[in-house]
A and B are shown apart, each in its own frame.
Chain A
Amino acid sequence: MTTFTLDTSDEIGVARAVGIRDLTFFSRVPHGGGAAVGVVHQAAMAVATGAARTVVCYRALNGRSGQRYSSGISDGPTTSDLIHWSWYMPFGLMTPASWVAMFAQRYMHEFGVTSRDFAQVAVSTRKHAVKNPRAFFHGKPLTFADHQSSRLIVEPLRLYDCCQETDGGCACIVTTADRAGDARHPAAMIRGIAQGAGGDQEVMTSFYRPTISSLPEMDLVARQVYSISGLRPEDVDAAVIYDAFTPIVLWQLESFGFCAAGEARDFVNGGNLELSGRLPSNTHGGQLSEAYVHGMNGVNEGVRLIRGTSCNQPRRNDHVLVTAGVGVPTSAMILGKAA
């Protein structure tokens, strides 16, 4: 079993509830949404080494009705994590939106990106959610004007640049290709998977690097994923790009080489994230419009894309990229079809 360090349901609690007896492997991955593919990575390594035959990766949270992520962090034992947050909390920089907005402001300044470019991401993602009965925004379209007139949360970010807060849970199972062949539904094959943390890495606040307009940790993950899989950006047919906020989608497009640094704006304005585009992305509606389950819902959408069962199924689906949280030590994978 693998889950997030942030998860409030512990492994043996889940095992007791589900009726699982002998657990041979359990592991947690830190740093919020950065763990979304990290949990699959842990599972894959456990299966590969024989530590476990079948691993459940899960994430469940009461993001809406339980503890919310925007009330500041200042209590508890004095850990290095708490000392880290102390550089920000007294100054009121205490929400995920604010941390991302600090990078976004600089990115906009350097590359002439505007809020209208972020709107493209929100609008295209919502188109997918509209057709997904599981999505919070199922049947509720979003217009460009809706985005531009939505209230400011943390400038330069507006309401629809931010994902929702969700009560939800997701799980996926990682096992050997042999065992998967006997399963009721077709499996997706992990072609390449990796974790990564960059130099001078902080959790959400890596403000002290020479430049803050790119994601060194995601660049590192991208290099590994391509190297392990032997695939290149042009081999990727569709993607689930972690989208807790709209700007982070642009940065990842650059990290994974779908466009050059500073050019993601042109990529998204060209309709490339839509079903008819170069890289149909977040076909479930993403975290912006399906649900915020810390990226685990994206892992499952990646599997559906390979199976051909997405609510918004693109025509080509040989290889699907799935990424995890941005601004934190993170992870990603490329899924392919079982042999």
Chain B
Amino acid sequence: MTSPRATREELERRLATYVGAAAGPPEVGRDPVDGALVRQWCDALDDRNPAYLDEDAARASTHGGLVAPPAMLQAWVLPGISMSRAAADPENRQRELHALFDAQGYTGVVATNCEQAYDRYLRPGDRVTGHTVIESISGEKATGLGSGYFIDTRTTFRDQHGGQVGWMTFRVLKFKPAAPPAAARERAAPPKPRRLRPALGHDNAWWWDGLRCGELLIQRCKSCGQLRHPPRPMCGACQSTQWDTLASGGRGSVYSFVVMHHPQVPGYEYPLVVVLVDLDEGTRLISNLVGVAPGDVHIGMRVEARIEDVDPELALPLFRRETSAGG
């Protein structure tokens, strides 16, 4: 068994044999430069340059006739779906090089740079051929994606007369995929946005705990019996700090309401109906009204609460239209 270092040396020795080699046979365009493909390209990019699209305007222009967008240079020689079968082509040394990397665990590939230069405009009827050379292969580099090698190729494009019409350099990184960092994993599977959490303290945590136990609680002064919501540590009527709770029946009527449209905050569904409910026990409470179209909500409407889990960690007393006579 060879050490990893020996493996790398062996790999790099083999890589060196590819540098300067033709990537494969010349890439011969399947079709001549033609107006239909130009129009598709322009549609896709919303390019309305009349020199590409309008024969009369092009004739009157400095070009003297229709020309193709220069950035289509490589498009004229792409082999289409057969690209996916090129691995089987024994003459394609670029594929062979990639296979060598794959076998060593450098299975990732990402294009990192591309530059093009144009010698002249292509015109309908031109036939283009690309000649690609593997120009260089870097040493092993540590990157954010994982450790790997950069492969630079240079393609020279020639027309039907052998004249150069442009060139392109292209760089890819072949790499051993590293485990994605936590942040990237989160981006890949964003958590479902949740409603804002209540902040919990001495004066309110018990109320939220009550909801988790299925009870809508109302604070009650132990001294004078006054109910109070939102809760507070002392009775404003008799100054007693002794209190207990009453479980509300959850029934009441709408005292006021709003329908929220903007801004829309993640975790909530809009339009969102927020109701101020007069509970039958006598206290008032803010919550949401669900199952009723916003246009059908009205002040005085009878409603009843059902405690529901809006997410695994938050239960809320959501109101619906009252279904039977309240007690």
Contact = CB atoms under 8 A, between A and B. Distances in A.
Interface of A: 70-74, 76, 78, 80, 82-95, 98, 101-103, 105-106, 109, 151-156, 200, 205, 207-208, 212
A93 B314 CA distance: 16
Nearest to A199: B236
Interface in B264-279: 265, 268, 271-272, 274, 276
A92 B256 contact: no
Nearest to A209: B284
Contacts of B268: 92
Nearest to B203: A83
A87 to B, nearest CB: 5
22 contacts: A74-B199, A82-B199, A87-B286, A89-B197, A90-B195, A90-B198, A90-B310, A92-B268, A92-B274, A92-B288, A93-B274, A94-B196, A102-B256, A103-B256, A106-B255, A106-B299, A109-B256, A151-B261, A154-B258, A155-B271, A207-B284, A207-B286
B283 interface: yes
Nearest to B256: A106
Given A90-B197, A102-B276, A154-B258, 18 more contacts: A70-B263, A74-B197, A82-B199, A82-B201, A86-B204, A87-B198, A88-B286, A89-B196, A90-B195, A93-B258, A101-B258, A102-B274, A109-B256, A153-B262, A155-B271, A200-B236, A205-B286, A208-B284
Contacts of A70: 263
B294 interface: yes
A106 B195 CA distance: 26
B199 A83 contact: yes
Nearest to A101: B258
Q: How large is the interface on B (under 10, 10 to 19, 20 to 34, 35 or more residues)?
A: 35 or more
Nearest to A107: B256
Taking chain B's interface residues, is the majority helix, strand, or loop, or is none over half, making it mixed? loop
Contacts of A88: 286
A91 B257 contact: no
B238 to A, nearest CB: 15
B246 interface: no
A203 to B, nearest CB: 12
Contacts of B256: 102-103, 105-106, 109, 207, 212
A152 B261 contact: yes
A183 B199 CA distance: 50
Contacts of A82: 199, 201
Interface string B285-324: 0111000001000010000000000100010100000000
Contact of B195 (A92, A98, A102): A92
B319 to A, nearest CB: 10
B261 A154 contact: yes
Interface string B98-124: 000000000000000000000000000
B259 A207 contact: no
B229 interface: yes
Contacts of A105: 256-258, 299
A92 B262 contact: no
A76 B198 CA distance: 12
Contacts of B272: 92
A198 B286 CA distance: 20
B258 A102 contact: yes
B196 A98 contact: no
Which of B201, B260, B288 has the most C-beta atoms of chain A within 10 angstroms of its own C-beta? B260
